Chain A
Amino acid sequence: MSAPAPALAPPSGGSPRRKAGLGPRQKAERREAIALVIPALLPIIVFSMIPLLAGVYLGFTNATLARNAEIEFIGFDNFVQLAQDKQFWDSFGIGLVWAGSVAALTGMSAIALALLLNSKLRFKSLTRIIVLIPWAMPPVVTGILWRMIYDVNSGPLNAALGWFGIDKVNWLGDFSTALPAVIVVGIWSGLPQTTVLLLAGMQSIPGELHEAAALDGANGARRFWHVTLPGLAPVLIAITSIDFIWNFNDFGIVYVLTEGGPGGRTMIPPLFTYLEAFRNREIGYASAMGDVLVLAILLILSIYLVNQFRQNKEGRS
């Protein structure tokens, strides 16, 4: 993903200097290219771009879900109102905590797990398959499963703690434990794909580097720090930012686990937007929230991309 793309070969015979005056042959080639691209582009435009743009546009209207509602363009009114909406910004903050901690902790746990799977253990292929199981679970099933695990009275977690003489904890109902408990589930369900990608990244680090470092007398920890981690960095940064975006937009797990409760303590932005759209039926205002969330994610993403480009540039020069 972050590997520098091979420089694209310029179109046959064409150099930037000669672009202004295309010959008849180039024109024909260009037409052919367009004809070939359009069939593939059409579904993307119809099913992805148009709905997306319609959704963005809704944020600038007063649309509701009422019958035969008249939709009027109201400019930036929704956004002005949103700027003062304390509940939304509270929810935004919770979303940052949720997505940030899930992404960071998933990254760390996945490195540990990938190291373990990359070492020469017995039953390696079996354990690698077992690790993938949470990936196969739909978010709703994950949510229901963990709600049972966290259950105050009949959950296995509290039963296990009970053997050590620890009192029952109301994991999902208590104001201080609800968000951490939900974050743990987020990590659990995000771990497999992160681990697999990191494992692939680790296997692409040449063994000679490790050998050379070992010959120079580096112990395991130093080899991890100076060989594995730098080699893994591009993959790690890419997957962590993707994890962040996925979780920031995640809806299923938190909705099933807590529905945003107790007292709004786990009300992440997608849940809040959903309530505004389908409970309050203010689809215009909710779309404005969606627009703000997209902008926020683009901003975070751009920091990563700019950083990535700069590195590539430095690498080349």
Chain B
Amino acid sequence: MNSKKSIGALALLTAGAFALTACQQGSASGGGGDSEDGAVTLQFQSLSDQPATQEAIQAAVDSWNSDNPDVQVEIIQAGWDGAYDKLITQFTGGTAPDIIHFEAASIVAFAQDGYLADLSEGLSEETIADIPEGIWDSVTVNDEIIAYPSTMQSYVAFANADLLEEAGVEVPTGDSMSWDQLAEIAEATTTDDVYGLGWGLGSPAATVMTLAPGFGGDFFSGSGDDVQIEVGDAELEVPERIHEMAYEDESLDPVSLTQSGSDVLASFYGGTVAMTVQGSFQAANMANDAPEGFNWVALPPLEGSEGALQAANPQTYSVNIDSEHVEEATAFLDFFASGQTLAAIAQADALIPASESAREVVATETGGEDGWEQILATADGMVGAPFLQANGYAEWKETVLNPALQQYLGDQISSEELATQLTDGWG
């Protein structure tokens, strides 16, 4: 009898020990630690994928590290692919880095779940004054600044100048280009082998939400948990126009609507589409990768009935609230936010700097070449995005908006059905 009991006790003990170790693992707060000589090490998870951007970030970190021997920053290079999944695992498992690079629309969800530190005390007044209020709004959750907004993507139409010339179309210039103009050029350049426009809308949600303000499409009113959705004519204008070009004008390649932006870029280089709408960052890829002699131009910003407006969804740098060194990490971000550093990052990525000082540096350094004139022009139309203020947007975008738009752009449902699906799927 005795031995039976002791066996049972042993088993229980071992199981308990295992369970305890498991708990320990879970609650350990991740990120940097202290080395033996008392210096603090901060982990900085960066997602930037352009080599020149990585150099600019490394340069900024090196300069900080030599000025601050007590607080050393260590870069952890990660990628944009699967970044959300990686972060949610890191946060839940307690192994998230101290400084976190991401984008506003997705990081807000983590802030709502309480994982991010408030930066409003730690950032200097100059840093805060350097960025327009509308952009700060996009990273403010419950009156706390939960991220530093660095650079923004806008959507830019690029054209194959040779194909436009063949079709006898003049490359549009000026401050903006209307959607009608885009449709006209697309029709004019469509031939038997060439579609006028290729648009990588495999995941259409971000594009549609960003361009919607051009027609006054807000989708949401209110903020926090009390948010109303409205899907009316203004909100449906962008998808309807894309749908019309694809299925009535037949000037937009319907296959491209199921692809990613970079897939369509291959068709663009191959000359099977005359124009393509892409994130501005693709200008950096085109400058590097476009085939020899390929004559591409960036077209003026797309203008809807309300102007050339696009929703601002900046890339962000946040601090993990469970970091042991929130203060030091915030101080590093304040240093990182200098005009020179951000201008270098923005140029390498072909993105628009959120801060005014960095934007000036970019304008003078590039002289408007390689599409920069048009990219910077879109910056004037950047407006705060109502969807960033809506709790539950990230869920709705993934499970309702994306599939419904895919069905509409795949010509499976009507725009009325689209509106119903979007409205019913909210809340």
Contact = CB atoms under 8 A, between A and B. Distances in A.
Interface of A: 31, 34-35, 38, 42, 45-46, 50, 64-69, 87, 152-154, 168, 170, 172-175, 260-264, 267, 275-276, 278-281
Interface string B349-362: 00000000000000
Instruction: Kindly list the 6 A-B residue pairs having the minimum CB-CB distance in the complex, ordered from nearest.
Output: A173-B258, A263-B407, A66-B113, A67-B114, A263-B406, A264-B403
A203 B321 CA distance: 63
Interface stretch (B83-91, B124-132, B277-285, B326-334): B83-91
Given A262-B406, A279-B394, A34 B255 contact: no
B258 A262 contact: yes
A45 B406 contact: no
A42 B14 contact: yes
A65 B398 CA distance: 17
A280 B403 contact: no
- Which of B402, B410, B412 has the most chain A CB atoms inside 10 A of its CB? B410
A90 to B, nearest CB: 10
The B interface, classified by DSSP as helix, strand, loop or mixed, is helix
Nearest to A28: B3
Contacts of B109: 281
Nearest to B14: A42
The size class of the interface chain B forms with chain A is 35 or more
Contacts of A276: 399
Contacts of B112: 66
A189 B406 CA distance: 28
A264 B11 CA distance: 47
A175 B89 CA distance: 32
B407 A34 contact: no
A38 B5 CA distance: 13
A153 B272 contact: yes
A154 B263 CA distance: 10
B267 A67 contact: no
Interface in B259-273: 259, 263, 266-267, 270, 272
B202 interface: yes
B15 A42 contact: yes
Contact of B398 (A34, A69, A275): A275
B18 to A, nearest CB: 5
A5 B112 CA distance: 57
B3 A173 contact: no
Contact of A65 (B19, B113, B258, B259): B113
A275 B399 CA distance: 8
Given A38-B7, A173-B258, A263 B403 contact: yes
Given A67-B91, A153-B266, A279-B84, A170 B114 contact: no
Given A42-B15, A65-B88, A263-B410, A279 B399 contact: yes
Nearest to B112: A66
Interface of B: 3-4, 7, 11, 14-15, 18-19, 84-85, 88-89, 91-92, 109, 112-115, 202, 255, 257-259, 263, 266-267, 270, 272, 321-322, 394-395, 398-399, 402-404, 406-407, 410, 412
B7 A68 contact: no
B267 A153 contact: yes
Contacts, number: 99
Contact of A31 (B3, B270, B395, B412): B3
A34 B11 CA distance: 11
A167 B84 CA distance: 38
Contact of B403 (A45, A152, A261): A261
B27 to A, nearest CB: 10
A194 to B, nearest CB: 31
Contacts of B91: 65, 67
B312 to A, nearest CB: 23
Contacts of A173: 202, 255, 257-259, 410
Given A264-B406, A280-B399, 15 more contacts: A66-B112, A66-B113, A66-B114, A154-B266, A168-B255, A174-B410, A175-B407, A261-B202, A261-B402, A263-B403, A264-B403, A278-B84, A279-B394, A281-B109, A281-B113
A60 to B, nearest CB: 20
Contacts of A279: 84, 394-395, 398-399
A279 B7 CA distance: 44
A83 B403 CA distance: 21
27 contacts: A34-B7, A35-B3, A38-B7, A42-B15, A46-B14, A46-B18, A65-B91, A66-B113, A66-B114, A67-B91, A67-B113, A67-B114, A67-B322, A153-B272, A154-B266, A168-B255, A173-B258, A260-B403, A263-B403, A263-B404, A263-B406, A279-B84, A279-B399, A280-B394, A280-B395, A280-B399, A281-B113
A275 to B, nearest CB: 6
B321 A67 contact: yes
A175 B91 CA distance: 36
A236 to B, nearest CB: 37
B85 A35 contact: no
- Which of B85, B202, B270 has the most chain A CB atoms inside 10 A of its CB? B202
Contacts of B322: 67
Nearest to B106: A279
Contacts of A68: 114
Contact of A263 (B88, B266, B412): B412
A45 B403 CA distance: 41
- Which of B85, B259, B266 has the most chain A CB atoms inside 10 A of its CB? B259
A173 B258 CA distance: 5
Nearest to A279: B398
B410 A175 contact: yes
Contacts of A281: 88, 109, 113
A175 B4 CA distance: 63
Given A65-B91, A67-B321, A87 B114 contact: no
Contacts of A31: 3-4, 7
Nearest to B259: A173
B20 to A, nearest CB: 12
A221 to B, nearest CB: 44
A65 B267 CA distance: 41
A153 B265 CA distance: 12
A66 B111 CA distance: 9
Contacts of B4: 31, 34
A262 B406 CA distance: 6
Contacts of B113: 64-67, 69, 281
B271 to A, nearest CB: 12
Contact of B85 (A168, A278, A280): A278
Contacts of B3: 31, 35
